[in-house]
Structure 1
Amino acid sequence: MNYLAHLFLSGDEEELLIGNFIADAVKGKQLEQYPEGIARGIRLHRLIDTYTDTHPVVHQTKLRLRPHFRKYAPVVADVFYDHFLATGFDQFATMPLASFVDRVYQIINQQYDQLPPRVQHFFPYMMRQNWLASYSEIEGIRQALAGMSRRTSFVSGMERAGDELQANYRHYAADFHNFFPELMLYVEQVKKEL
């Protein structure tokens, strides 16, 4: 899952949200350097990634994407899924997407000093360009994936992913809607055990 889904799945716990947000920049046992609430968020992020990476519906999405994006198919799938969460946010959340995004940016901004350097570097851009809300539009997905494509060391093709999303929109939407409720249930269970 990409940023929006990880943040949404954190629920109301602010430290859990911060940990879930920064987890990709925290390697191995570095999580021990963080307060327990943030460390729980890092562990939750890793569990979400493992569950997602091994889920059969997500596997189908990646198979559909692999001919176009090869090793970057999982990245494209994550961003597509964030798009469908953003467009149907009111089906899953008790507040509008815009309110949720504003709340998240405020929480992260208040904990800026806790963010790893890599996250401190990109977070101001994320907030200024409103990445999370932009995922609700195909043009926002195009921009996000084009930006990722520019940062890859190999030809990724991700700059064309918006076209793939448009061409097969209902297939990717169906994948997301089959998968995400199961992920939500899984997260509710594991949050109690963290």
Structure 2
Amino acid sequence: MAKEALLIIDYTNDFVDNKGALTVGKPGQLLENSIINLANQFVEKDNWVILPTDLHKKDNPYHPETKLFPPHNLANTWGHEFYGKLQPWYDQHQDDAQVYMYDKTRYSAFAGTDLDLRLRERNIKTIHLVGVCTDICVLHTAIDAYNLNYNIIIHENGVAATSKAAQEFSLNHFKNILGAKIDR
């Protein structure tokens, strides 16, 4: 049976909690149970759960986001920790062979990482995307996945954007431009 991977993108305090530096707020918070349920399903089926997580250094003059956004997801901070139930879920499963967390420094989970190599060596051809922000990191990850010929499934009840308009645009882009399946 072909293996698949669930990517839980940037589901951290800084992006989801009300006190987060770049929070999507309530829409992101409402994803929590759906994301945990999906993660449990993937682990039970011996599929992969991968947690690509944004990481930055404060005032890094070489990073383009420094000029665009306030400091966020800084190393060793509360903001970089997983939001809500995902942190204890990860703590419980981090030693599972098929659960893998890594830090990323760009919007796409593929940019500057070994994600493509890890997926290919495990013969994974289909990736499921959840997390935040639908219109930034999830979108850029999906575009790279498309360009690398992965089958893409977006879980609509597992993604939140910076606005309703951005959410609608992104979901349409996934479906109509990238050929992704939208799981409702």
The alignment's TM-score, normalised by the length of structure 1, stands at 0.32
Which has more helix, going by share of residues? 1
The alignment's TM-score, normalised by the length of structure 2, stands at 0.33
Larger radius of gyration: 1
